[in-house]
Chain A
Amino acid sequence: AQSVTQLDSQVPVFEEAPVELRCNYSSSVSVYLFWYVQYPNQGLQLLLKYLSGSTLVKGINGFEAEFNKSQTSFHLRKPSVHISDTAEYFCAVQGAQKLVFGQGTRLTINP
């Protein structure tokens, strides 16, 4: 069975500061990992995904994530955040046919 743990429920940062949102996974099969973003009152939008190959994955809006098999982690990073990055971020692992999500991390950007 697959599971995801997002270690921080909320992360406040100042505008233009770097940010890291942490995600640990558990999977007994091949690992496919995803980060989705949810803006207020909206559905989920794919930020990036790791399927295989390079462990550093680049996504939209300047985000990137690094797959670390030994630490079973898939942390999301951005070197400089903007007010518009305020949202809920979800890490997910793909099971046989469906996605299993973490509980989410609320990213708030302070001016």
Chain B
Amino acid sequence: DTGVSQNPRHKITKRGQNVTFRCDPISEHNRLYWYRQTLGQGPEFLTYFQNEAQLEKSRLLSDRFSAERPKGSFSTLEIQRTEQGDSAMYLCASRPNDPKPGNTIYFGEGSWLTVV
């Protein structure tokens, strides 16, 4: 079990540039989540996939944000025309296939974004 893998771990970009983060979930987990965490705050839900289907999106996910999971395995989160307010840690998580409520959601180590 290699855990949830995210890259890059750190990204510094200029305002207005596009950035993309990748998440590789735990093997065979069909549920994948993206969260955003700003300094001193708890993680905030962004979006959720079951296999390749994006089932829920938060209102935090403006039209500059897009997430994909084309083959139901890894996922990407792209932010277009970055703004300083996008500076945060972006966390990916995955969950086992068993639909039983309360199954543990496993988190990656996060991708830090700094927009300058």
Contacts and interface: CB of A to CB of B under 8 A. Distances in A.
Interface magnitude class on chain B: 20 to 34
B102 interface: yes
A45 B107 contact: yes
Interface residues of A, number: 24
Interface stretch (A12-20, A61-69, A94-102): A94-102
A49 B42 contact: no
Contact of A101 (B31, B42, B55): B42
Given A94-B101, A101-B43, A102-B42, A44 B31 contact: no
B102 A90 contact: no
Interface string A38-81: 00001111100101000000000000000000000000000000
Contact of A97 (B42, B44, B48): B48
A103 interface: yes
Contacts of B6: 43
Contacts, number: 55
A38 B58 CA distance: 23
A42 B101 CA distance: 26
A85 B45 CA distance: 26
A51 to B, nearest CB: 4
Contacts of B25: none
B54 to A, nearest CB: 12
Given A97-B48, A99-B45, A30 B101 contact: yes
Interface string B36-55: 00001111110010000001
Contacts of B109: 42-43
A90 B42 contact: yes
Interface of A: 4, 6, 9, 30, 32, 36, 42-46, 49, 51, 90, 92, 94, 97-104
14 contacts: A4-B42, A6-B42, A9-B40, A43-B6, A43-B110, A44-B43, A44-B93, A51-B102, A90-B42, A98-B56, A99-B45, A99-B105, A101-B42, A101-B44
